[in-house]
Structure 1
Amino acid sequence: MATEINTSAGWWFFITTLVLLFGGATNVSATPRTPVDENEVLEKLPVSFLGKKDNLSVLQKKLLEQPDNLSLAIVLAKKYIEAGREQSDPRQFGYAQAALRTWWNETQPPNEILLLRATIRQHHHQYDEAVTDLKALLKRQPRHAQAWLTLSVVQQVRGDYAGVRASCASLARVASSWISSLCYSQVMAVTGEAERAYQIQSQLARDPEQNNVELRQWLLTLAGETALMLGKNKSAENHFKKALGLGHRDPYLLRVYSDLLIQQLQPKAVLKLLADEVHDDALLLRLAIAAKHAGKTKIFQQYKSQLEARYRAAQLRGSRLHEREEALFFLQVNKNSDKALELALSNWAIQKELEDTRIVLMSALESKQYQRISSVLYWIKKTKHRMFV
């Protein structure tokens, strides 16, 4: 089964990392298929996940026997979220939701459920519902640092920069200066203060006391993106390489670094970097683009066919999680800029991160339909939104 990537992946990685710190799939086809051989291998699980499978099975069985066991449900849901993040597998978030089913529809669930429910809803682009859960939690616990940070993440995805700053200010009163500075730097980077944001991120990267691998990797990735906004491509590449050198797999990092390599006309480097990442839709798209640029016609056609099948399957499920990546597919793979702009604008109505805005501009430029993006251009000017194209 193909993965369905949450398009706000940069912040999403940060959210799920903190949820866990603080508190290989096969191709999709449009219709189900029954194997003709009982010995057929339907899916090969990633090696890193195999050791967790038995543990998850034990927890699943216990929860079936004790469906009202809140502590057990929370542990199991967190493990599923971790698996979903590590393997870019959306099914795990569905399993996490199922683990919380006893409390999922409650209007006043326990605090931990509110936080996990908001995290899962954010992944599914249910931003209004996620904000409602987070504000309910913060009304009960105004000093809940993780809730303030997660709220700032959702606000950043939606382009609510005033909200982000307010949440970062509240976070600064209850969390470390390292975390709160990181919070501020992300919104500064896209609202006209990229130079200052980059200085903050560079300073945070030199802090020897912050030795959590996942957080340092996320910081280096963010610093790389900010460097790109400033035209510091070499510095950006150095940040991305340092982040990769930490040894923790982060799909978002792989994606933004691949985009830089493609921009620098290094498609063969992308094919090498992402050789084992065909289960991840966003990374498979980069493989297809790189294969096309490298003149690898046969493998390009294979990747293209796989992506088309996955997008069709998503449409059958009524999913909109693919829209930004599908817009890039139509723009750079299928060369249909009109369709790309349609998808990009539909996605932009929901979320307004750097990549969301950039694909709108790229599609409009290619299709020469500038009048359709007047509201986007007004928003960019109003918010002083800064990006790299």
Structure 2
Amino acid sequence: MHRSALLALVLASGGVGVALATTMMSYLPADDEVVLELLPLSRDAKVRELHQLRQTLTAQPHDAALAADYARRAIALGRSQSDPRFYGYAAAALAPWFVGDDGASNGATLAPIGDKPADIVWLQATLMQQRHDFDGAMHWLDALLQREEVGPARLTRASLLLVQGRQREAVRDCAALARHDVLAATTCGALAASLDGRAVSALAALDTIMPQLDRAPVEQRLWTLTLAAEIASRLDRTDEATQRFERALAAMRSAGPDRDAYLLAAYADHLLDQGQPQAVAALLHDDMRVDGLLLRVAIAERRLQQAGVATPSLDLHRQQLQARFDAVRLRGDTTHGREEAMFALHVESDATRALSLALANWQLQREPIDARLVLEAANAAGEPAAAAPVRQWLRDHAIEDPLLQRFASPTPGNR
């Protein structure tokens, strides 16, 4: 697999992703003949290519290379278009290799890896990670890596550990990546180090590979540039962080029409912290199909409203987000906890509900953004003691983030 494809899929499926599945509100037609939706031929070249590939795969459903290529493309489109149907397409393509396997997340009940093709196993783990079945994903990744060394699986395993706040364990996987891709290994290692008391040295390590990024795939460039900007932001180097985000944004725009949702959300969060909600609305006005970006727009509009600025679109955006959250919940999907907690806290001003959602999300995802959600919600709800596990996590990993540390101090000024 080409390195750019590897990075695009791993980064799309990891904790760095911000998009929820775009969904319709639940509706039960009175007649089986009712047409719910007509799907026109997409103008998106990548979607058209996927449809064409599907026709070939239908005729050759047991072709592992073809199925893996199809699933990889479908997962990437699911992420970029915030459309859960593509994840279903990917799962269907992989299904012939998992017939009869127990899909439960308990690793002891999952079937052995056997002679399943490496890409098929890795992509199955990727789908499980996407739906937050972290135990199931780890089962497949561990089984595959015990059998053979596979670069994409190694990077996915590191991503999974980082999402769970297990950065010290992730370091080993990041180091093992060096035999496959030095740039990916350096960026992965810097990410882990930045979350374990070594943010300054991590940023310095990223700067050493910046000259090589011009020749790297766009996915690698954006990952490294965005991470460097985030670390600078966490270190409270505001101007430097803004410059780094702008560099990443320029790299995204020069690469073509595709938008990087994670970069846009990270930059929006930085701008919101700097008191620039108007800039967020301007940055994201063309990207509201992706729920995580629509959420940032709604937060920016709420901040503007609180400052006395007219925000005529806020009610509509609030309704759209609530409808999407409701629909996701009706499907039994549990991947939206972080975003729904942000919505409750920053758009609805419901600190009690936000705290409940943030604490539930903390059981699955333990990145700085998740820690901050718990701390902010606990302070706003007047229950700072509820965030004690997060404060302990911050101490255990010596997280270097002045803003997080301020939220971790349960004083009236932080509520």
Q: Could you tell me the TM-score, scaled by structure 1's length?
A: 0.87
More moved, 133-142 vs 221-230: 133-142
Q: Counterpart of 1:258?
A: 268
Question: What SS is found at the alignment partner of 1:136?
Answer: helix
Question: What SS is found at the alignment partner of 1:100?
Answer: helix
Alpha carbons 1:27, 1:279 under 8 Å: kept: no
Residues 141/314 of structure 1: CA separation in 2 closer, same or farther (3 Å cut): same
1:125 pairs with 2:119: no
Alpha carbons 1:14, 1:215 under 8 Å: kept: no
Aligned residue type for 2:172: A
Aligned residue type for 1:347: N
Counterparts of 1:147-166 in structure 2, within 5 Å, are 147-166=153-172
In the TM superposition, what whole-angstrom CA distance separates every residue of 1:288-333 from its partner, at most 9, and x where no partner exists?
Answer: 1112223333200010011111111112112111111111111111
Q: Could you tell me the TM-score, scaled by structure 2's length?
A: 0.82
Q: Counterpart of 1:323?
A: 337
Q: Counterpart of 1:218?
A: 223
More moved, 75-84 vs 209-218: 209-218
Q: Counterpart of 1:199?
A: 204
Q: Distance in 1 between matches of 2:22 and 2:395?
A: 43
In the TM superposition, what whole-angstrom CA distance separates every residue of 1:19-72 from its partner, at most 9, and x where no partner exists?
Answer: 9xxxx997621325699xx9998678874x2x2344323322232233222222
Counterparts of 1:225-240 in structure 2, within 5 Å, are 225-240=230-245
Alpha carbons 1:271, 1:287 under 8 Å: kept: yes
Q: Counterpart of 1:368?
A: 382
Residues 299/147 of structure 1: CA separation in 2 closer, same or farther (3 Å cut): same
More moved, 157-166 vs 376-385: 376-385
Q: Counterpart of 1:286?
A: 296
> Unaligned 5+ residue runs, structure 2?
1-5, 102-110, 405-415
1:244 pairs with 2:249: yes
Residues 342/326 of structure 1: CA separation in 2 closer, same or farther (3 Å cut): same
1:114 to 116, 121, 125: 121
Q: Distance in 2 between matches of 1:327 and 1:212?
A: 34
2:194 to 181, 184, 189: 189
- Count of aligned positions: 369
Q: Counterpart of 1:136?
A: 143
1:277 pairs with 2:298: no
Question: What SS is found at the alignment partner of 1:206?
Answer: helix
Aligned residue type for 2:212: D
Q: Counterpart of 1:357?
A: 371
Alpha carbons 2:131, 2:334 under 8 Å: kept: no
Alpha carbons 1:114, 1:134 under 8 Å: kept: yes
Q: Counterpart of 1:7?
A: none
1:171 to 139, 153, 177: 177
Q: Distance in 2 between matches of 1:131 and 1:72?
A: 24
Q: Distance in 2 between matches of 1:369 and 1:42?
A: 49
Q: Distance in 1 between matches of 2:8 and 2:359?
A: 24
Give the percent of matched residue pairs that are identical in Structure 1 and Structure 2: 34
Q: Distance in 2 between matches of 1:325 and 1:40?
A: 28
Residues 18/374 of structure 1: CA separation in 2 closer, same or farther (3 Å cut): closer
